[in-house]
């Protein structure tokens, strides 16, 4: 109720809406960069990865929302995460792809697998050992070995986020709370956009519409599983809202752009391609609006975000696949064998 009360009290000023929108968007981007750098330095995901990312995201969100450093806004976030922990703990993932390879990737990463330095060679034995170790502590069943190829050769951004949560809480199902970060962010961004353009609407109406926008059926269909395809939707919502809210605000617009690029590139290649096409259209729009500096800066920030992701969170699979199999898209394209999906 404190969470709802804060939204009603500060809805018009959008103080807490902006704080929470930025926080839930920055959290996955920071966690991905943090884990990528850790792997690059030869480390592993530890139980401290999620708390550290949480603190960094909250401090960064406070700065972007131009609020003083305080803990007033953190209590509702903790309450929401507590509720999500309970829901995810009791609602188990029984999806096909979840069992085939997504859960295997989460388990391996949370148990210490470094995908940069321990890729390909010994991956079968490594993942099998960690899955067997995990199955003794949770409900997961026997591992499907046919899914191991996707664990190693596919982008694993969402699995990485779930693994940081699992490493902290010690339960693979609780890791699914990472699925809620971007939809929650899109809810608050939508709420701010509605506040901007429909100020005479009641708070109740704007919150209801924002909820409908942020949590359509496709989100509810996958958010309690380890499927990752739903991630594209909140990325698109946030990108559109960023144009509505920050068309002339270089800092916030570019922070959102960099975060979305890192997340999309880390989660799935086609998401990165779709998001890139969307931002090409956005840059054309800004160009015709004569925001030439914004266009130039956005292009530089976008390219920089791609390079940062390439050498951190997506070093595996794209660089490791290229080194070992002469194709970043192995095993779908190139290399010794093509696998038909």
Q: Which residues contact 292 (CB under 8 A, 6 or more apart)?
A: none
Helix (H) or strand (E) segment spanning residue 97: helix 96-97
Burial degree of 201 (CB within 10 A; 0-12, 13-18, 19+): middle
pTM of the model: 0.90
Give the pLDDT confidence score for residue 136 in this predicted structure.
47
Give the pLDDT confidence score for residue 133 in this predicted structure.
57
Give the pLDDT confidence score for residue 339 in this predicted structure.
56
Q: Which residues contact 17 (CB under 8 A, 6 or more apart)?
A: 7, 10, 11, 188, 191, 192, 195
Burial degree of 138 (CB within 10 A; 0-12, 13-18, 19+): middle
d(CA 254, CA 299): 9
Chain centre to alpha carbon of residue 226: 13
d(CA 293, CA 172): 45
Q: How many CA atoms lie within 13 A of 332 on its CB side?
A: 11
| Cα distances (Å, whole numbers) of residue 274 to 33, 225, 286, 327 | 21, 23, 19, 21
d(CA 281, CA 250): 17
Give the pLDDT confidence score for residue 53 in this predicted structure.
97
Ranges of the chain with pLDDT below 70: 1-15, 119-147, 334-341
């Amino acid at each position: 109720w404190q969470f709802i009360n804060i939204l009603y009290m500060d809805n018009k000023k959008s103080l807490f809406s902006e704080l929470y929108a930025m926080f839930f968007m920055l959290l996955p981007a920071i966690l991905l960069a943090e884990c990528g750098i850790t792997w690059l330095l030869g480390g592993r995901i530890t139980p401290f990865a999620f708390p550290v990312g949480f603190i960094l995201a909250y401090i960064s969100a406070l700065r972007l929302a131009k609020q003083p450093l305080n803990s007033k806004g953190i209590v509702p976030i903790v309450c929401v995460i507590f509720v999500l922990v309970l829901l995810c703990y009791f609602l188990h993932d029984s999806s096909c792809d979840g069992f085939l390879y997504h859960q295997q990737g989460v388990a391996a990463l949370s148990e210490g697998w470094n995908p940069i330095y321990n890729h390909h060679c010994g991956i079968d034995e490594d993942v099998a050992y960690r899955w067997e170790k995990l199955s003794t502590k949770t409900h997961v069943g026997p591992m499907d070995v046919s899914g191991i190829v996707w664990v190693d050769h596919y982008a694993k951004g969402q699995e990485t986020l779930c693994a940081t949560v699992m490493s902290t809480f010690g339960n693979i199902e609780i890791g699914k709370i990472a699925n809620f970060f971007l939809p929650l962010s899109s809810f608050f961004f939508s709420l701010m956009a509605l506040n901007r353009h429909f100020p005479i609407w009641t708070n109740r109406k704007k919150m209801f519409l924002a909820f409908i926008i942020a949590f359509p059926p496709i989100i509810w269909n996958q958010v309690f599983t380890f499927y990752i395809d739903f991630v594209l939707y909140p990325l698109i919502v946030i990108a559109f809202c960023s144009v509505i809210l920050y068309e002339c605000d270089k800092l916030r617009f570019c922070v959102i752009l960099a975060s979305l690029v890192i997340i999309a590139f880390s989660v799935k290649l086609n998401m990165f391609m779709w998001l890139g096409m969307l931002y090409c259209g956005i840059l054309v729009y800004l160009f015709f609006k004569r925001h030439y500096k914004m266009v130039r800066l956005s292009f530089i920030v976008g390219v920089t975000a791609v390079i940062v992701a390439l050498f951190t969170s997506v070093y595996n699979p794209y660089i490791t696949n290229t080194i070992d199999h002469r194709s970043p898209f192995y095993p779908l394209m190139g290399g010794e064998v093509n696998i038909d999906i």
